[in-house]
Structure 1
Amino acid sequence: METFATRGYNNASLAEVAARVGLTQAGVLHHFPSKAGLLTGVLDLRDATEIGELGDERPRGMAFLRHLVDTAKHNAAREGIVRLYAVLSAESVTDGHPAQNYFRTRYQGLRTMVVDALHEAVEHGEVPTGLDHETVATAIIATMDGLQVQWLLAPDSIDMAAATETTIRALTHADLPPSPEPFQAGRAG
């Protein structure tokens, strides 16, 4: 994770990865068939870890949107993971990048979860009707990703959680419920 986060996929070498984990390049390739396979393994591990932190079932309605704010707060203590995501998601837009399908699928899945949460929030009377759920979901995710880049460049100047909450409140015209205690959040966005 550290190598891909600091150097990007294209500039990371198997030799550097092998040295960091105390293996030879052949040893790394024994576990992962290629550099692209290693990248996929890193991304899968990241997702599995964060899904495990979320628990058996995602929060519903506005509680899921609160979860996104809590995730932004949690991410402020995980610079390496945030950097990995920011670097690789940006790189993935280039032709032939091995993580392109991963990020395309991940963004679609996250948009679906946010849209579902907005539908649930309408059903529970938490937000007004008439919102364009797809557009609101896309804007929330774009805000979170943009904040991560700004935070990486100026961590003492950016409060990702506060800006995420402000954006969600403005887009939904609704307040968020308080954070559950004790704080538990995975990286949904």
Structure 2
Amino acid sequence: MTKAARSRKRGPRGPYTSGREAQRAILDSARRVFAERGYRGGVLRDVAERAGVSAANIIHHFGSKEALLVTLLEERDMGASLELRAAPGGFIAGLRDLVRRNAADREMVRLFTTLGAEATAADHPAHDFFRARYASVTAEVAGAVETARDQGVLPSGPPADRVAAGLIAVMDGIQLQWLLDPGFDMVAAFDAHLTAIGALPSTDGA
């Protein structure tokens, strides 16, 4: 086998590949640092140390600590939104599946809970992100509530946007309880809420 053929077989190498690997390592490290210490408490030096790079290397790839934070949040949130919309059993099944997947990713739940609380301050770099996120997710879930009502999956009731806001608040609240008490079953708690509002059939035998 020629040298060129061996190179093709191994796949792409060089600065582009190593650059992507460094970005991935930085994002993974930032996720842990910000989840543990929040954005304000987490410093680039800590992220760099865990990623095995320099703080200057982080600036090279992301431009600033703020840009690193936004990239990290958008990456996770985009994936969750796409998965929810594509849920084969409808949006209720998608919400339940999201809660189950969150129960297997404590670090990410802690990241969003920590940063979401911090971002209530207007000067926080993620403030606009979380405002836009809640507006977008509420609108998406409200549309799904209206569709579910039309299909007979959900009963009629209060305005769909208020139902959507309530569902999101319940999900956020049970996540906080779960972070405080790892023995708390947030999957069961969310299913109990869905049963209470008529989104799931009762299993009490009545």
For Structure 1 versus Structure 2, the TM-score category normalised by the shorter chain is 0.7 to 0.9
**Aligned partner of 2:126 among 99, 103, 107:** 99
The alpha-carbon deviation at position 109 of structure 1 amounts to 1.1
> Is the 1:69–1:162 Cα contact (8 Å) retained in structure 2?
no
CA distance in 2, matches of 1:160, 1:70: 12
Q: Within the alignment, does 1:24 sit opposite 2:63 as a pair?
A: no
1:80-138 CA-to-partner distances (Å, cap 9, x unmatched) read 11010100011000130000111111111111111111111111122222332122111
Equivalent of residue 88 in structure 1, options 97, 115, 118: 115
- 2:192 alignment partner in structure 1: 166
1:175 is matched by which residue type in structure 2? Answer: L
Worse-matched range after superposition: 69-78 or 84-93: 69-78
Higher alpha-carbon Rg? 2
Moved more, 122-131 or 132-141: 122-131
Q: Which runs of 4+ in 1 moved over 4 A?
A: none
Q: How does 1:55-74 map to 2 (within 5 A)?
A: 57-59=85-87, 63-74=90-101
Letter of the structure 2 residue corresponding to residue 165 of structure 1:
D
How far apart are the structure 1 equivalents of 2:115 and 2:168? Answer: 16
| TM-score between the two structures when normalised by the length of structure 1 | 0.83
Distance 1:83 1:15 in 2: 21
8 Å CA contact retained: 2:92, 2:199: no
Tell me which amino acid in the other structure corresponds to 2:189: A
Q: Flag structure 1 segments of 5+ consecutive residues without an equivalent.
A: 177-189
**Counterpart selection for 1:126 from 145, 148, 153:** 153
Per the alignment, residue 182 of structure 1 pairs with none
Aligned-pair CA distance for 1:59: 3.8
Name 1:139's counterpart in structure 2.
166
**Equivalent pairs: percent with the same residue?**
38
SS at match of 2:158: coil
Query: Which residue of 1 is the match for residue 7 of structure 2?
Result: none
Taking CA–CA contacts closer than 8 Å with sequence separation of 6 or more, which of the two structures ends up with the larger relative contact order?
1
CA RMSD in angstroms, aligned pairs only: 1.8
Q: How far is 1:76 from its partner? A: 1.0
Residue number in structure 2 paired with 1:179 = none
- Report how many residues are paired: 171
In 2, the alpha carbon distance for the partners of 1:148 and 1:98 equals: 23
Distance 2:47 2:96 in 1: 33
Q: Output the TM-score relative to the length of structure 2.
A: 0.77
Which consecutive residues of structure 2, in runs of 5 or more, have no partner in the other structure? 1-30, 202-206
Shift of 1:162: 1.5
Using the TM superposition, give the Cα deviation of residue 21 of structure 1 relative to its aligned residue in structure 2, in angstroms: 0.8
Amino acid across the alignment from 2:57: G
Q: 1:2: which partner in 2?
A: 32
2:104 to 77, 80, 94: 77
